[in-house]
A and B are shown apart, each in its own frame.
Chain A
Amino acid sequence: MAQRAQPIITVLGISALGLILALILVPPITLLMVAKDGGLSPADWSAIRFTLLQATLSALISILLAIPVARALARRTFPGRGLLVALLGAPFLLPVIVAVIGLLIVWGRAGWISDLIGTPISIYGLGGVLLAHVFFNLPLVTRLLLQGWGQIPAEHFRLVSQLGFRPAQVFQHLEWPMLRSVLPGAFLLVFLLCTTSFAVALTLGGGPRATTIELAIYEAVRFSFDLSRAAILSLIQFAVCGVIAALSLLISLSTGFSNSNLISTSRWDARRRSQRTLDTISILLVTLFLLTPLLALVLRGLAGLGDLPPLGRAIMTSLMIALGSTAFTSLTALALAQWIDHMRAAKNQLAFLSEGVSLLTISTSPFVLGTGVFLLIRSVANPFDFALPVTALVNATVALPITLRVLLPALEQSRLTHGRLGESLSITGWTRFRLITWPTIRAPLGYAAGISAALSMGDLGVITLFAPPDMETLPLLMYRLMGSYQTQAAASVALILIVLTLALFWLFDRGGRLGHHT
């Protein structure tokens, strides 16, 4: 009887898969067709070198700094610890351009640090790019490592303290093996995120010395109209991301979305004064590093709220993009996830598709996707007329793996707990979805939609390639204000953007759980 549900699920699932594959694969094919023969200039090579260099350094620095912080959090309890751990999750939803402005107010040439030491420091270039990437990824790695520490059984720590191990020995025997299994994945994840982080390179990099591959693509399209070069660079970027994604297949890639194992363990070896000092300094420094830009933003932003440019249009555009992309992601992911779950239930080999699709999407640079679509549209119409839908579509693609990851376990749970009952009562099709599946997945779906909307709301990527000057999203408006040195106005817009982003996330997340009693 339950077989009656299958055709719809399969048709929807295959359509979703086809849509996603088309979204991911057609742009590179377009690029291949546009790319003409032509070697890379020394400047292109320099962009490739810079991309790899900054991604490597960003990942290394993030990891090196995260180790002492995660260890401190893993073995200390103190007032505000929970808040700090929550703060570590915040950069994930924080729009990149917002963080960049906060960092500039603190670390820029007219910033707090410059004032403090009496000479202006310049962070434009490699320094600024690293600073922003560490700001975003240090918390991410810290959370990953914190989970790692949480997985070391507390008894092991009690055992080594009975054996009288010194901190160095504890590190060698308990912590290092854990780090060795977690760090490669963390490194690759940060490396991948930094390779495709366009907004940071656009705002803090630039100039021939600090140009990433994606920035070079942007310049080739917008400044030189060298579409062939843009296509070649896009293919290189595609290959770089592909290699990293393939590498991460070899080691299990953990993403730090989960909230499990973030607790602390009481440890005897941590009671030494030196260890106590080290932990205190680590926690204080990381708190300062993460909080000052946000504080700076609030202070500067509040002061400028009075004389803001009219924002109505930018807000509307941003909301339209965010809601459009969220709707697209949620529906596509739902169709795909139902199908995959169905196949899992039937022990179908095709069930591994979920991993494949996620991986393919993660390894695709959103900016390269956008460039491909741009070139594709250009052959039939004026691409500037399509800024909105294309941005929404690309943002949707980016959010897809996260949504799938959240939905699949929920669907599985629904099937395992209520599936048999549904079958015995012959509830199928839409009724089954409405009565059995929906109540179980609405909360996770709301959460995923919240993340998706927040990410899309704060995105400054493809839109820079497409947007005509008379079109604005909030992040784009902030970028333009920064360009004309109106930092105060940019900070005020940033505040509004943060509030709207968090409100969107909250609405979806809360909406999913409203009146929900399971």
Chain B
Amino acid sequence: MKISLLFAAFATLSGAASAQTLTVYTYDSFVPDWGPGPAIEAAFEAECACDLVFVAAGDGAALLGRLQLEGQNTDADIVLGLDTSLIATARETGLFAPHTGVPDNLTLPIDWTDDTFLPFDWGYFAFVYDRTTVTLPPTSFTELLQSDYTLIIQDPRSSTPGLGLLMWVKHIYGDNATSVWQRLAPRIVTVTKGWSEAYGLFLEGEADFVLSYTTSPLYHQLAEQDDSKAAAIFSDGHYMQVEVAGILASTEQRDLADQFMAFISSPAFQREIPMSNWMYPVAQEGTNMPSAFADSLTGIEPLLFATDQVDSIREQALEEWRNALSQ
């Protein structure tokens, strides 16, 4: 049975038969009560007179994999939660349709020109540590390599931070990436399937560092008044993650989809990002972003591969990673 049919049935039963439904596939942590999903859903439904349905469809690559498996039969109108490392692969599937234009209020540190995907938040990957166990954190990636700290990372095949780390290593070390992974391998405590497993293990004290974001310590500071976590800032730069949304070409709700894509960069959407997705908004104006977020941006050199380069680099980097770690 088609999920959309099910929803349509429910809509009819509840007397809202006239309202149209916009189905958005997103990653798992976007949907729950503590994620940004519910507030964004309420805000958009207030202005669209429609029913916005978020479907948790797996993280990162798994999200894209789900769309590919469903192909033209997918129920999704929009996917929200791919990132810059996956854009090229996503475009190649031919499942996506171009958007109607890049909004002019973006405050990203890079120019956004992609004609299919629009950014909804962004951040820098970083290794997060506990100040009480790591007193002299490395100040560059090379220093981390030379140390004997233990790490927890995510599987790049299933998780966008894991893939981001691959690109990060590739950006700094290029052809030497394999030897970097061989040096890291013995100190990697475990490779988790998703971000939350990795971060949970780190919080339980299973490793000195966990791959996460520069904004992760802000969560502990602002939401838990806990100052013990920090992100190691590397002088050789931090790889950027820009999370994006795109319209499925197979959608039958094109107008509604366009309306949602425009809504993404509006303050009503963006103001939910810092304190519930713990990322930076892509359009800062009107978001009341806490000053700690702005402060955390200083002194970081952004690294990012051009979208058209990413695909070939990703394939190679994945192969190097799998082979180095399966030894």
User: Which residues on A are within 8 Å of B, measured CB to CB?
Assistant: 41-43, 46-47, 109-110, 120, 122, 124, 206-209, 211, 219, 221-225, 378, 381-385, 468-470, 483-485
**Contacts A207-B155, A221-B65, A470-B3 known; A42 to B323 CB distance under 8 Å?**
yes
**Contacts A225-B68, A382-B73, A469-B58 known; A207 to B190 CB distance under 8 Å?**
yes
CA distance A122 to B204 in the complex (A): 13
The answer to whether B206 and A207 touch across the interface, beta carbons within 8 angstroms, is no
The answer to whether A469 and B322 touch across the interface, beta carbons within 8 angstroms, is no
**Contacts A206-B193, A207-B190 known; A109 to B206 CB distance under 8 Å?**
yes
* Stretch of B113-121, B194-202, B260-268 with 4 or more beta carbons under 8 angstroms from chain A: B194-202
CA distance A483 to B154 in the complex (A): 13
Q: List 12 A-B contacts (CB under 8 A).
A: A43-B319, A206-B155, A208-B191, A219-B158, A378-B71, A382-B71, A383-B69, A383-B70, A469-B28, A469-B55, A469-B56, A483-B197
- Name the CB-closest residue of A to B1: A385
The answer to whether B68 and A484 touch across the interface, beta carbons within 8 angstroms, is no
Q: Across the A-B interface, give the 10 residue pairs with the lowest CB-CB distance, nearest first.
A: A207-B191, A43-B322, A46-B326, A382-B73, A208-B326, A208-B325, A223-B157, A485-B200, A225-B68, A225-B65
CA distance A41 to B320 in the complex (A): 10
CA distance A6 to B50 in the complex (A): 62
Whether a CB of chain A sits under 8 angstroms from the CB of B62 is yes
Across the interface, B322 reaches (CB within 8 A) one of A120, A208, A221, namely A208
The answer to whether A110 and B189 touch across the interface, beta carbons within 8 angstroms, is no
CA distance A381 to B2 in the complex (A): 10
The answer to whether A384 and B56 touch across the interface, beta carbons within 8 angstroms, is no
Which A residues are in CB contact (< 8 Å) with B189?
Answer: 122
The answer to whether B206 and A382 touch across the interface, beta carbons within 8 angstroms, is no
Which B residues are in CB contact (< 8 Å) with A222?
Answer: 58, 62, 65-66, 158
The answer to whether B73 and A469 touch across the interface, beta carbons within 8 angstroms, is no
With a 10 A CB-CB cut-off, give which of B70, B321, B326 has the most chain A CB atoms. Answer: B326
Which A residues are in CB contact (< 8 Å) with B191?
Answer: 206-208
Which A residues are in CB contact (< 8 Å) with B62?
Answer: 222-223
Which A residues are in CB contact (< 8 Å) with B58?
Answer: 222, 469
CA distance A42 to B73 in the complex (A): 35
Which B residues are in CB contact (< 8 Å) with A484?
Answer: 196-197, 200
CA distance A311 to B65 in the complex (A): 28
Whether a CB of chain A sits under 8 angstroms from the CB of B282 is no
**Contacts A110-B204, A120-B206, A384-B69 known; A43 to B193 CB distance under 8 Å?**
no
CA distance A470 to B6 in the complex (A): 13
Which B residues are in CB contact (< 8 Å) with A43?
Answer: 319, 322-323, 326
Distance to closest chain A CB from B40 (angstroms): 19
Whether a CB of chain A sits under 8 angstroms from the CB of B61 is yes
CA distance A122 to B205 in the complex (A): 13
Which A residues are in CB contact (< 8 Å) with B73?
Answer: 381-382
Distance to closest chain B CB from A101 (angstroms): 15
Whether a CB of chain A sits under 8 angstroms from the CB of B82 is no
Whether a CB of chain A sits under 8 angstroms from the CB of B232 is no
Which A residues are in CB contact (< 8 Å) with B201?
Answer: 485
The answer to whether B69 and A378 touch across the interface, beta carbons within 8 angstroms, is yes
Which B residues are in CB contact (< 8 Å) with A47?
Answer: 326
Which B residues are in CB contact (< 8 Å) with A378?
Answer: 69, 71
Which A residues are in CB contact (< 8 Å) with B61?
Answer: 223-224
**Contacts A43-B322, A206-B193, A378-B69 known; A225 to B64 CB distance under 8 Å?**
yes
Interface residue ranges of B70-107 to A (CB < 8 Å): 70-71, 73-74
Interface residue ranges of B122-177 to A (CB < 8 Å): 155, 157-158
The answer to whether A219 and B69 touch across the interface, beta carbons within 8 angstroms, is no
The answer to whether A223 and B322 touch across the interface, beta carbons within 8 angstroms, is no
The answer to whether A485 and B197 touch across the interface, beta carbons within 8 angstroms, is yes
CA distance A209 to B181 in the complex (A): 13
The answer to whether B190 and A483 touch across the interface, beta carbons within 8 angstroms, is no
The answer to whether B197 and A42 touch across the interface, beta carbons within 8 angstroms, is no
Distance to closest chain A CB from B200 (angstroms): 4
